[in-house]
Structure 1
């Protein structure tokens, strides 16, 4: 007769501590719903550079065994979050619900959106708000300029902190130890011939941002694109977020960014700071 696993301390059996060994051999403690953690790891692996994945891709990116990755992917298909063509898994619109839960309840995004829209109309360029998340700058609000070719990333997009204007602004409020910890989350590589991709150079750039009060990424992420960002501070003086504008460098020079765009971004930051 098949035995039934009894709940532990009034909880389901899944909540007992165990160990899980991923495909890399790294041991992870499991507390509570380990299956949920694995599924979320796969969801977070999707992004601008990973719009679809195989079972092998998911196992590698989420640090899971192939059987565990396959079970998670098929569960997400059953729940309507992913589509499967027999080989590749791709996100479906239902995935948007996960991000909207944060965006719809964050007072910061609600306060920022009309300010970003006003700045976009004044500058005729896309203006965004970003926060830090494990080595990435994540865009939580954005007012997009209407152009044939769009600039920058979309709402919910992520950029590595080491070479993005928003990322360096967000790093500038941290201690040197904290900066190195964030830089370690994302392997640094040269995306263009202008990218700063070593810890010493990035640290010096972040220190200049702290002194200047703004950051400029000039064709470090992609040739032909530049961005400027300024910090949004909370009431205690810590950096809560970064406001940025992204432009085509052939249309807007660095000098114009400093002369025309910087005052507008600083004005948004001050208004957001007063609301925090």
Structure 2
């Protein structure tokens, strides 16, 4: 089968509908019909049908020119998050980490070659670096993405953390460590985000790494109380 071929069961219209939803993000919270069509590589007629259908279903609102997602789209992600024990288990430890470190803490899970934020606690101060729940990033470009493969069996990585110094573009230094299951597989990662102007990479590693490791160890201890159901995604667990 050619690389771009689809299986007989594939519903292309459903793919296009999801693409329309994904066309809206933090940088583009509102789009015109033409902008959606270009972003999704659709004709104006096809984009219009998708947008009007999503409007009828309550996932999109239009003022006659601009289209926006409605809060109802959160239902789509909530079905996944509500089935995860990991964010619930991690929440108190993220709270404590953010409080002790004075920086924003977040929990990520892998999704193919991406990482997705499933829980976060912002620092309790103005201008704190933070990421929204549901945000997705290429794994290779983030500290937490690089940290998660580090503890796959046989990876040979011994440091147990990754530090990415901030660059002039985003000005954020990230420190991350993997969360491992009983078998040593990295099922998630915890990240601290620090404005580079406040703290050097050396200081971040010296002052914050011990607190990050303590939080990860606490999450892992709670996670090991639960046994993942066979075939369940990372973080899905049932009490013994």
Is the CA contact (8 Å cut-off) linking 1:163 and 1:220 kept in structure 2? Answer: no
Structure 2 vs 1, CA of residues 221 and 134 (structure 1 numbering), >3 Å: closer, same or farther?
A: farther
Q: TM-score, normalization: structure 1?
A: 0.70
Q: Which residue of 1 aligns with 2:47?
A: 69
Paired residues for 1:157-236 under 5 Å = 157-173=135-151, 210-220=157-167, 222-236=169-183
For the residues of structure 2 that align with 1:65 and 1:133, how far apart are their CA atoms?
A: 30
Deviation at 1:174, TM superposition (A): 6.2
Match of 1:141 among 116, 119, 124: 119
SS of the equivalent of 1:213 reads coil
2:31 match: secondary structure = coil
1:114 pairs with 2:92: yes
Which residue does 1:86 correspond to in 2?
64
Structure 2, unaligned runs of 5 or more: 225-240
Q: Compared with structure 1, are the counterparts of its residues 166 and 221 closer, same or farther at alpha carbon in structure 2 (3 Å cutoff)?
A: farther
Distance 1:113 1:140 in 2: 10
The aligned residue for residue 253 of structure 1 is 200
Separation in 2 of the partners of 1:50 and 1:132?
Answer: 25
The answer to which of 59-68 and 130-139 deviates more is 59-68
Q: CA deviation at 1:86?
A: 2.9
Change (3 A) 1:57 1:126: same
CA distance in 1, matches of 2:58, 2:109: 29
Give TM-score, length-normalised by structure 2: 0.80
CA displacement 1:92-129 (0-9 Å, x = unmatched)? 12222222222222100110111100111111111000
Give the Cα separation in 2 of the matches to 1:91 and 1:150.
26
**Is the CA contact 2:166–2:173 (under 8 Å) kept in the aligned structure 1?**
yes
How many residues matched? 219
Decide whether the 8 Å contact of 2:106 with 2:120 is kept in 1.
yes
* Higher-RCO chain (CA-CA 8 Å, sequence separation at least 6): 2
- Kept after mapping to 2: 8 A contact 1:163/1:217: no
Higher Rg: 1
Superposed CA deviations along residues 56-111 of structure 1, whole A, max 9, x for unmatched, are 44344445444332211111112221122333321112222222222222100110
Segments of 5+ residues of structure 1 without an aligned counterpart are 1-25, 176-206
Q: Is the 8 A contact 1:163 1:221 kept in 2?
A: no
Conserved? CA contact 2:120–2:131, under 8 Å: no
**Deviation of 1:49 (Å):** 3.0
Counterpart of 1:180? none
Offset, 1:160: 2.3
Q: Match for residue 41 of structure 1?
A: 19
